[in-house]
Amino acid sequence: MFKFFNNIKNKKIDILNSSINNLLEVFQKSNIEEWTYIFGSKKEIIKRNLIAGIFRGVGIGIGVTIITAILILILRRIVALNIPIIGEYIADIVEIVQRSR
């Protein structure tokens, strides 16, 4: 009789262990630990957002600088081709940009 109850008890323990393992896998996949840490600490939220904002600003600055430099190089080459109407306008634009430096 005790074997019967031990078997039922062991089956329940096995089911419980597999359920716990499934929950652990779900939590690990969803990064629930990181989310609870972030939501628990206002300082952590501020720190992460500040760092993200700084890097976004630097990235935007570098990107705009590179794109502007490429556009100026392209415009200079178009001016060098001496296309009558377009060349004059582009020459004026390049001159304005160079004066503003």
From residue 88, alpha-carbon distances to 69, 73, 74, 95, 98 in Å are 20, 16, 14, 10, 15
- The model's pTM: 0.47
Helix (H) / strand (E) element for 21: namely helix 2-29
pLDDT tens readout for residues 41-66: 788 888 888 999 999 999 999 999 99
Contact, 78 vs 90, CB < 8 A? yes
Q: Domain map of the chain by residue range? A: 31-100
Highest mean pLDDT among 16-20, 63-67, 96-100: 63-67
d(CA 77, CA 94): 11
